[in-house]
Amino acid sequence: MLSPNPAKAAVERWWLLYTPVWGAIAGAVMLSGWAERWGDVECMTFGVVLAGGALVPLARPHASERAVPFHERASTKLCLSVVLLAFGLNYAQTPFFFDVLHMRYGFDVTWTIDRNPVFLYLVTVAYFATYAALAGVAFRWLHRRVRVAAWTVAPIAIAFSETALNANPWLDSLFCYDDLPFMLWFGTLAYSLSFVFALPMWMAIDETPERRLPVRLVFVFAAAALFADWIALEVLRHHVAPLFTTVVDHAPGLRAFAGCLVPP
């Protein structure tokens, strides 16, 4: 169920149609072994391509918005929300995945921010574009039936699906978790919080043509979602996770072959 706003629906439709495209490209890169041999330039190019496809709506606004200023278009605000969330969560959340959820990356790159490859900031834009569209579709369908579940079911399903699809034996030289069962339940719940906090932003952006969200409020919504997620992860890290696992401060994360990561 796409948005009743034709301009917003056009963006969601593009993101859903683009999903199998970026999924096929990412699958080919990861499963072929190219990502194991690529360096910084190749990986960044890969990231730019995937992110660029997700941001196509910026250059192709719906007919109803062609006369609307760029910063007031639904496509601009939706793409901005995805970029802000993707970049913000990569920066603030990835250390939690390394230290608490014992995630490991095998990419042979040196362009990193706090152990996290920079090119993944761009790759995540494509991921989150898909998640924004799916979350919106699921929310509208559920909201008419079980309102409380509408705010939680889609975020949890998205978080679990990403974990289950990415953590597989064919990628254990590029990506893995030392304790996959722990990630599947605890990690899913922790990761899903970011989408719970992001969903109000996505649903507030021009859901109907008559109610346009000022672009400045996209920054406010994104900042609020990121701050709420940071607080929640800090609580989980210091007060909940130690009950179930060993929290390793400043775990290497990238190319740490002592655990589940298999050397290429």
3-state secondary structure 63-123: HHHCCCCHHHCHHHHHHHHHHHHHHHHHHHHHHHHHHCCCEEECCCCCCEECCEECHHHHH
Cα–Cα distance measured from residue 130 to residue 70, given in angstroms and rounded to the nearest whole number: 22
Each residue's pLDDT tens digit, 249-260: 999 999 999 899
Helix pair angle (153-166, 119-143), 10° resolution: 140
Q: Are 79 and 6 in contact (CB under 8 A)?
A: no
- At which residue do the structure tokens 């589940």 appear? 260
Each residue's pLDDT tens digit, 4-43: 999 999 999 999 999 999 999 999 999 999 999 999 999 9
pTM for the predicted model, two decimal places = 0.95
Average pLDDT over residues 237-245: 98
Average pLDDT over residues 98-120: 97
Each residue's pLDDT tens digit, 163-205: 888 878 888 999 999 999 999 999 999 999 999 999 999 999 9
Q: Are 206 and 64 in contact (CB under 8 A)?
A: no
Average pLDDT over residues 120-132: 98
* Predicted confidence (pLDDT) at residue 77 exceeds the cutoff of 90: yes
Cα–Cα distance measured from residue 125 to residue 76, given in angstroms and rounded to the nearest whole number: 14
